[in-house]
Amino acid sequence: MSVLDIKGVTKQFGTVRAVDSFALTVGDGELVCLLGPSGSGKSTLLRMIGGFETPSSGSITIDGEEVIHLPPERRPTGMVFQSHALWTHMNVFKNIAFGLKLRRIPVAEVKRRVDEVLELVGLTGYGNRQTHQLSGGQQQRVALARSLVLEPKILLLDEPFASLDQHLRERLREEVRDIQQRLKITTLFVTHGQDEALSMADRIVVLHDGRMEQVAAPDMLYREPETPFVAGFIGTMNLIEGNVNGGTFSRPGFSHKLPAGDGPAIFAVRPEALAITPATGAGAARVHRVTDYGTHGLVDLELKDGLRLKSMVPEARDWKAGQPVDIAPRAFAAYRDDAVLYRSSAAQ
Amino acid sequence: MPVDTTFKPPRQVDWAGIGFAVVLSIVIIFPLIVVGLWAFANVWRYPNVIPQEFGLRFWYQTLSRPDVWESITTSVELAVSVTVISSIICLPAAFAFARLKFPFRSLLFFSFIAGQAFPKFGLLVAIAGIFLSLNLIGTFWGVVLIQLVGTLLYMIWIPVAAFQGVSPRMEEAARDVGASPLRVFWSITLPQAGPTIGAAVLLTFVNTFYETEGAWLIGAPAVHTMPILMISFINNQPVIQYGAVLSAILWLPSFFALLFARRVISGGSFARGFGA
C-alpha cells in the first residue's frame, strides 16, 4: 500500500526550476533515497513533502490525503535536518518531549515515550545532558529521536550524516537502517553520497537538474542505468563518445561492434568489464598509471586521442606505466539521446 | 635517581597582557578609587594622599536633600519608561528587519546609525526647536522622546543580530514537531535570542540613566535627573563630596546591571549583538 504519492510536482524559484514534474509513489515501510549532486532538487523535494516549501504545481498525498495546503505542524511527517537543529536552550529530554507536550500528552506518558525512544537510539540516561555536551553523532541521534517519538507516518532525513566523519557516518547509517526496519517506518532519505544510498535504500531515485533520471533498486541502478548521467553518477563508468556506422561503434583508437542504427552514441563500460591484454601490435591504448588497492588493481588507460579509461585488474603488478595494451569490453551498454540504445546481455 | 623527562614548556610571561591590564587599571579603576575615596572622606586636605577622616557625613547630608530623592525618582522613571517604550517599538521592528524583506530595508536599517554618526548636540538643538513649538520643552515626556532617539541604535541593531542568529532550521524543527508560528517564536526564537536582547535592554536602561545632554537641553528647567543634579553639584558646590556621593549612587544601576549580566547573559551575547 502506498503511503506517499507525489504527482507532477514542480517548484520554480524565479527563473530557476528546482524540481521539474516529479512523480513518485512510496510504499508502506519503504526506505527510498533521493540521490543526486548538489543543486539537483532533492532537498527542495523533501522540504515540499515536509511542508517547508510550497510546490508551484502538482500534488502530494499522504495516506490518500492531499497535504499541500497543510502547514508543517499539521503534516504527519518528521524531519531530521543536516545541521541537527537541536534547541540549545533545552536539554536532551526537553528537546524530545517538546512535540509530545504540544500534543498535551500526560507527563508520565511523555516520560515513558522519551525514555523508550532514547533507548531505541542508544542514548539511555542522556536525558539530562545539555545538547552542547553531546558529540556530533549523539546530537544526530537526539534529532532522530525527536522525530521518531511522535511516530510520524513518513520520516524525512535531509543529509543527516553529512556533517559527521566517515567512520561515524558508516556506523550511524547502519543504526538508522536497523531502526527503520524495526519500526517499519516509511522513510525518505536525501543524500549526495552514493555509498549511503546503495547501502541503505530499498529504492534509489536519481535526480539531476530537478528531474528524475531513474528510480530503481540499488543493484538494478548499478547494473542497468537508464541514462548516461546515471551510468556516470553511480559507481565508476567509462563513457566513450563516438559514432555508430554500419553496426560498429568507433572513435580514434577504439572500435567495437554495436548492433544499432547509424548516428552518435555513448559507449558505456564499467572498469570491471573492461579487459586488457598486452598489445600484440601497436595497441589500442597505453597504460598511464597503475594503482594497487591490495584486493585488486586499477589501471588508468589513455586512448590514442587522449581519452582516459579505467580497467579493473586482479593483479596490479602485471601492468606497468607506458605499456601498450589492447582493450576488450566484456559487457557494455550504449546510449543515444539520454536513453538506452543497446545493452549487451551480460552488461554490468 | 629517576630523571624527570617530562617536557615542560618554559613559562612565558605575557608582557603585552600585563601592560594592557596596567593601562586599563590606570584609566578605569584609578579614577573610580579616587571618587570612592572622596565619597567616604569626611576630611581630605592637600597634601595628604589619603583622607584624614573617613565617614558617612556627606552621605547623610546628600541623602537628606529632597532634590536628590526627586532626581533619583525622576531618573528611574525616565529610564524605565524609555526602556519599556523602546522595547515595544524597537523589538518588533528588529524582528521585521531580521526576517522580512521590504523596500528600502537596508537604507532604513542604516538610518538608525545617523543619530550616532553626527554631532549629537547639533541634532538635539534641532529637535529642541521642534519640541519648543510642541510645548514639550521642560516636560517629562519631552525627555522620554529625546532619549528614545538615543536608544534606537542599540535596540534595533543588537536585536536584529540576535534574531538573525537564530537558525531557521531550529524554527523549522519546531514547526515540524507541531508548533504553530507563534509558539515557535515564544518557545524557540525568543529564548534563543533572549540573552542578546537582554543585553540590548540593559544597555538601553543604563545609557538612559546616565544620559545628560538630552535631559538637560529638553528637560531644563523642570526635569532634574541624577546626572544633571550631579553636574550642578560639581559646578556650583565647593564641596567635592556631594558630587562624589552622587557618583557612587549612580554606579548602582551599573553594578546591578553587571550582576544581572553575569547571571543571565552568556559571555558571547554582547559580542554576538554586534555581529561577532
* Interval B209-233: pLDDT, tens: 888 888 888 887 888 888 888 888 8
CA A286-A291-A293 angle, 5° bins: 145
> How near does any CA of chain B get to the CA of A178, in Å?
23
Residue in this structure with the C-alpha cell 536582547, named with its chain if needed: B197
Please report the pLDDT score of residue B250 as a whole number. Answer: 83
* Residue A196 CB-density burial (10 A; 0-12 exposed, 13-18 middle, 19+ buried): buried
CATH number of A236-343: 2.40.50.140
> How near does any CA of chain B get to the CA of A85, in Å?
5
| Partner A contacted by B111 (CB < 8 A) | no
| Partner A contacted by B180 (CB < 8 A) | yes
Percent of chain B with pLDDT over 90: 23
Q: Which of B177, B188, B265 to mutate to test the interface with A (most CBs of A within 10 A)?
A: B177
Average the pLDDT over B238-258 and give the result: 82
Residue A130 near residue A91 (C-beta atoms within 8 A) = yes
B135 — alpha (psi -120 to 50), left (phi > 0) or beta?
left
Of the ranges A75-79, A290-294, B34-38, B251-255, which one carries the lowest mean pLDDT score?
B251-255
Read off the amino acid at residue B38. Answer: W
Q: Which among B173, B179, B183 is the nearest to A85, CB-wise?
A: B173
**What's CA B212's distance to the chain center, in Å?**
13
Q: At what angle do helices B240-264 and B30-39 cross, to 10 degrees?
A: 120
Cβ of B172 and A73 within 8 Å? no
Query: DSSP letters of chain B?
Result: --------PPPPP-HHHHHHHHHHIIIIIHHHHHHHHHHTEEE--TT-SS-SEE-SHHHHHHHT-HHHHHHHHHHHHHHHHHHHHHHHHHHHHHHHHHH---TTHHHHHHHTTHHHHS-HHHHHHHHHHHHHHTT-TTSHHHHHHHHHHHHHHHHHHHHHHHHHHS-HHHHHHHHHTT--HHHHIIIIIHHHHHHHHHHHHHHHHHHHHH--HHHHHHHTTT---HHHHHHHHHHH-S-HHHHHHHHHHHHHHHHHHHHHHHHHS-THHHHHHTT-
Task: Assign domain B59-273 to its CATH superfamily.
Answer: MetI-like (1.10.3720.10)
For the full predicted model, state whether its pTM sits above 0.80.
no
Strand-pairing partners, residue A277, are A326
Cβ of B169 and A146 within 8 Å? no
A299: nearest Cα among A268, A307, A288, A348:
A288
Residue A86 near residue A130 (C-beta atoms within 8 A) = no
As a whole number, the mean pLDDT across chain B is 84
Cβ of A85 and B179 within 8 Å? no
> How near does any CA of chain A get to the CA of B103, in Å?
18
Give the right CATH number for A2-226 from 1.10.10.60, 3.40.50.300, 3.40.50.2300, 1.10.3860.10.
3.40.50.300
CA A73-A82-A30 angle, 5° bins: 70
Chain B residue numbers touching A50 (CB-CB < 8 A): 176
Q: Which among B175, B178, B188 is the nearest to A103, CB-wise?
A: B178
- CB neighbour burial string for B80-98, b if at least 16 within 10 angstroms, e if fewer: ebbbeebbeebbebbbebb
| Partner B contacted by A104 (CB < 8 A) | no
| Partner B contacted by A14 (CB < 8 A) | no
| Cβ-based neighbours of B22, under 8 Å, separated by 6 or more | none
Read off the amino acid at residue A58. Answer: G
Average the pLDDT over B8-25 and give the result: 85
Task: Find the closest chain A residue to B190 by CA distance.
Answer: A89
Q: Does position B1 have pLDDT exceeding 60, yes or no?
A: no
SS3 category, A75? coil
Task: Find the closest chain B residue to A96 by CA distance.
Answer: B177
Please report the pLDDT score of residue B258 as a whole number. Answer: 78
| Cβ-based neighbours of A249, under 8 Å, separated by 6 or more | A240, A242, A243, A255, A256, A257, A258, A265, A267, A334
| Partner A contacted by B167 (CB < 8 A) | yes
CA A25-A30-A34 angle, 5° bins: 65
How many Cα atoms within 13 Å fall on the side-chain side of residue A256?
A: 23
Q: How far apart are CA B241 and CA B228, in angstroms?
A: 16
A186: nearest Cα among A5, A9, A344:
A5
| Partner A contacted by B101 (CB < 8 A) | no
CATH 1.10.3720.10 region(s) of chain B? 59-273
Q: Does position B239 have pLDDT exceeding 50, yes or no?
A: yes
Residue A133 near residue A139 (C-beta atoms within 8 A) = no
Q: Which among B169, B177, B191 is the nearest to A99, CB-wise?
A: B177
Please report the pLDDT score of residue B265 as a whole number. Answer: 59
Cβ of A89 and B192 within 8 Å? yes
Of the ranges A109-118, A234-243, B68-77, B243-252, which one carries the lowest mean pLDDT score?
B243-252
Cβ of A143 and B188 within 8 Å? no
| Partner B contacted by A102 (CB < 8 A) | yes
How many Cα atoms within 13 Å fall on the side-chain side of residue B144?
A: 15
Q: How far apart are CA A60 and CA A57, in angstroms?
A: 10
Chain B residue numbers touching A143 (CB-CB < 8 A): 173
Task: Find the closest chain A residue to B168 by CA distance.
Answer: A85
Q: Which among B167, B170, B172 is the nearest to A72, CB-wise?
A: B172
Average the pLDDT over B87-96 and give the result: 91
Average the pLDDT over B9-24 and give the result: 86
Q: Which residue has the higher pLDDT, A61 or B106?
A: A61
Q: Is the ipTM of this complex over 0.90?
A: no
Q: Does position B8 have pLDDT exceeding 70, yes or no?
A: no
Cβ of B173 and A77 within 8 Å? no
Give the C-alpha distances (Å, rounded to integers) separating B162 from B159, B169, B174: 5, 15, 18
Q: What is the count of residue pairs from A and B with beta carbons less than 8 Å apart?
A: 61
Q: At what angle do helices B226-236 and B190-210 cross, to 10 degrees?
A: 30
Give the C-alpha distances (Å, rounded to integers) separating B253 from B200, B242, B244: 15, 19, 16
Cβ of B172 and A52 within 8 Å? yes
| Partner A contacted by B183 (CB < 8 A) | yes
Cβ of A146 and B188 within 8 Å? no
Please report the pLDDT score of residue A347 as a whole number. Answer: 46
In degrees rounded to 5, what are phi and psi of residue A66? -65, 130
> How near does any CA of chain B get to the CA of A86, in Å?
6
Chain A residue numbers touching B191 (CB-CB < 8 A): 87, 89
> How near does any CA of chain B get to the CA of A16, in Å?
20
What are the structural domain ranges in chain A? 2-226, 236-343
Cβ of A98 and B167 within 8 Å? no
| Partner A contacted by B65 (CB < 8 A) | no
Please report the pLDDT score of residue A143 as a whole number. Answer: 94
Cβ of B172 and A85 within 8 Å? yes
| Cβ-based neighbours of A20, under 8 Å, separated by 6 or more | A10, A41, A209, A210, A211
Q: How far apart are CA A233 and CA A253, in angstroms?
A: 25
Task: Find the closest chain B residue to A74 by CA distance.
Answer: B178
Please report the pLDDT score of residue A98 as a whole number. Answer: 96
- Which residue positions in chain A have pLDDT lower than 50? 347-348
**One fold for A2-226 and A236-343:** no
Cβ of A83 and B177 within 8 Å? no
| Partner A contacted by B14 (CB < 8 A) | no
Q: Which of A49, A54, A73 to mutate to test the interface with B (most CBs of B within 10 A)?
A: A73
Q: How far apart are CA A67 and CA A77, in angstroms?
A: 10
> How near does any CA of chain B get to the CA of A177, in Å?
22
| Partner A contacted by B173 (CB < 8 A) | yes
CA B70-B73-B77 angle, 5° bins: 140
Read off the amino acid at residue B51. Answer: P
B85: nearest Cα among B151, B20, B129, B39:
B151
Chain A residue numbers touching B272 (CB-CB < 8 A): none
Q: What is the pLDDT of residues A107-133, one digit of tens each?
A: 999 999 999 999 988 899 999 999 999
Q: How far apart are CA B93 and CA B156, in angstroms?
A: 7
Strand-pairing partners, residue A313, are A297
